[in-house]
Amino acid sequence: MKEEQMKFKVIDENGKEIECEVLFTFDSDETNKSYIVYTDETTDEEGNTKVYASTYTPNSENLNLQPIETDKEWKIIETILSELQDEARSSMEDSE
C-alpha cells in the first residue's frame, strides 16, 4: 500500500510558487495549537534537507500557515524532530 504524500504550494517573498511536502503534523496540549512540519526539498550548504514549521488550523478550507511565536514552541518542535531522527537512525541500524 502506497502512502499518499500531502503537498501544498506557497508563494515566497519574490512571488515564486514553491511546492512543499508535509512531513508530519501534530497537536500540542502544552500550547493548544496545531503544528505542521514541512520541506520544500531544498538543502543547506552541508547537504541537509531544509525543514520548516508553522502553526495551522486543521480542517480549515485554506491552509493558513502562521509563524512559530515562542522559543518554547520551537523547543517542542526540535524535540519531536530529534526523536524522529533517532528512531530513523535506530531502524536503519537494525536493518543492516
How many other CB atoms are there within 10 angstroms of residue 7's CB atom? 10
Q: Considering the entire predicted model, what is its pTM?
A: 0.80
In this model, does residue 27 exceed pLDDT 90? yes
Q: Domain ranges in the chain?
A: 7-95
* Each residue's pLDDT tens digit, 37-72: 999 999 999 998 899 999 999 888 888 899 999 999
In this model, does residue 11 exceed pLDDT 80? yes
What was the pLDDT predicted at 59?
84
* Each residue's pLDDT tens digit, 69-88: 999 999 999 999 899 888 88
